[in-house]
């Protein structure tokens, strides 16, 4: 009896220790975010840059030259994105008075309609609620958060440069360690391949989403088409909620500038793009590469968003994929990997029984 009580107490203590260790690890990750986020962003860019780097090296381009070209391409893409955002911000500031006048008219109409239904609201309150200034403040908060992704862009690019220049040597070391030691080290090549495949497919889909979203906004005559296309491209990396967030600003500005009909057209266009690309083409192309259930993807978005903010949201799926593969590497934690997986294990097959109900034991065949 005493032994059973001691065993139960030991089990409870073990659970409490694991919970405490998890809390400490999460707190440490949050505290070290200033160091870990630039490193993780550089690692993400390095994984995305690996295929073009390998393509150049297969074309007999010297490794230093290939790494330099890929690094310059990353700098050019980041510079182009920053230029689009800066130009759109200037145009937005110039367009605020025009949108404010439109909002005043809409607020007055809405106040009159509410008054006919015995709901009394001040016009100024409605105008302040949906004014471009309010939208700009909300957008500025998001931009400040997203700016944390590139606030240390110089450090990110330096780390990326080192990773690109040493990619071939690191790959050889990784393969040598995997062959010599096995275990968790042996899982790293598979981790790199899975994450690389996911990011490659996600990047192609995100580019298509950004181009189509920008084209829809441009064709329908809504301002800042380049900006909304860039926002759709970036936020498509955030699962589940990214597409919704990306569609709100263009729908809002379509409503202000052209009325509800054009806003519905923008909404329908974004919905079709995300349904076809995000819900049909992407899962069909990705197949089993992701291997995470929709619930796990959403929970990982919340968790990594809490730990590292917007950067954690961008990194949530790759980090959870890595965690699932590592958990599969041990018998003790394989059940946790199974819980993260998108598919259920097959049902156990019943053992064959004889006519009398006894289990049939097959005799080994002579060879």
On average, the pLDDT of the chain sits at 78
User: Does residue 367 carry a pLDDT above 50?
Assistant: no
User: Does residue 73 carry a pLDDT above 90?
Assistant: yes
- What's the rounded Cα separation, in Å, for the pair 193 and 270? 31
246 neighbors 230 (Cβ within 8 angstroms): no
Please report the pLDDT score of residue 215 as a whole number. Answer: 95
Please report the pLDDT score of residue 292 as a whole number. Answer: 76
3-state secondary structure of 335: helix
User: Does residue 137 carry a pLDDT above 70?
Assistant: no
Task: Give the Cβ contact number of residue 123 at 10 Å.
Answer: 15
User: Does residue 277 carry a pLDDT above 60?
Assistant: yes
CB within 8 Å of 320: residues ≥ 6 apart: 292, 296, 297, 300, 304, 340
Q: Is 320 exposed, middle or buried (0-12, 13-18, 19+ CB in 10 A)?
A: buried
Digit-coded pLDDT (tens) for 146-172: 555 555 778 888 999 998 888 777 777
Residue showing tokens 């381009």: 61
CB within 8 Å of 53: residues ≥ 6 apart: 66, 67, 70, 164, 167
More confident residue, 130 or 72: 72
Q: How does residue 38 score in pLDDT terms, banded at 50, 70 and 90? A: confident
Task: Please state the rounded mean pLDDT for residues 119-127.
Answer: 59
Give the rounded percent of residues in the chain with a pLDDT score beyond 90: 16
* 76-80, 176-180, 189-193, 334-338: which is most confident: 76-80
User: Does residue 356 carry a pLDDT above 60?
Assistant: no
């Amino acid at each position: 009896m005493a032994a059973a009580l001691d065993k139960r107490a030991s089990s409870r203590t073990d659970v409490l220790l694991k919970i405490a260790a998890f809390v400490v690890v999460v707190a440490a990750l949050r505290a070290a975010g200033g160091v870990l986020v630039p490193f993780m962003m550089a690692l993400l860019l390095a994984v995305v840059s690996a295929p073009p780097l390998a393509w150049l090296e297969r074309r007999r381009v010297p490794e230093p030259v290939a790494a330099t070209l890929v690094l310059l391409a990353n700098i050019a893409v980041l510079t182009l994105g920053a230029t689009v955002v800066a130009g759109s911000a200037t145009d937005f500031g110039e367009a605020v008075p025009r949108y404010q006048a439109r909002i005043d008219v809409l607020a007055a109409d809405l106040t009159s309609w509410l008054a006919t239904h015995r709901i009394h609201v001040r016009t100024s309150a409605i105008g302040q609620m949906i004014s471009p200034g309010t939208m700009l403040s909300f957008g500025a908060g998001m931009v400040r958060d997203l700016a944390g992704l590139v606030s240390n862009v110089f450090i990110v690019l330096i780390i990326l440069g080192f990773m690109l220049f040493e990619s071939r040597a690191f790959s050889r070391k990784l393969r040598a360690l995997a062959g010599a030691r096995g275990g968790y080290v042996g899982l790293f090549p598979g981790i790199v391949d899975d994450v690389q495949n996911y990011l490659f497919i996600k990047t192609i889909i995100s580019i298509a989403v950004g181009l189509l979203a920008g084209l829809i906004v441009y064709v329908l005559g809504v301002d800042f088409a380049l900006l909304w296309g860039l926002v759709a491209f970036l936020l498509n990396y955030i699962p589940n909620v990214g597409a919704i967030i990306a569609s709100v600003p263009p729908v809002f500005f379509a409503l202000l500038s052209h009325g509800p009909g054009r806003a519905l057209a923008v909404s329908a266009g974004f919905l079709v793009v995300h349904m076809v690309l995000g819900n049909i083409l992407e899962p069909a192309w990705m197949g089993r590469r992701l291997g995470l259930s929709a619930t796990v993807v959403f929970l990982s978005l919340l968790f990594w968003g809490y730990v590292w903010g917007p950067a954690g949201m961008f990194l949530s799926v790759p980090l959870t994929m890595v965690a699932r593969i590592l958990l599969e590497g041990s018998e003790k934690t394989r059940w946790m990997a199974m819980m993260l997986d998108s598919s259920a294990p097959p049902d156990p097959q019943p053992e064959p029984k004889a006519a009398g109900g006894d289990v049939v034991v097959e005799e080994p065949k002579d060879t």
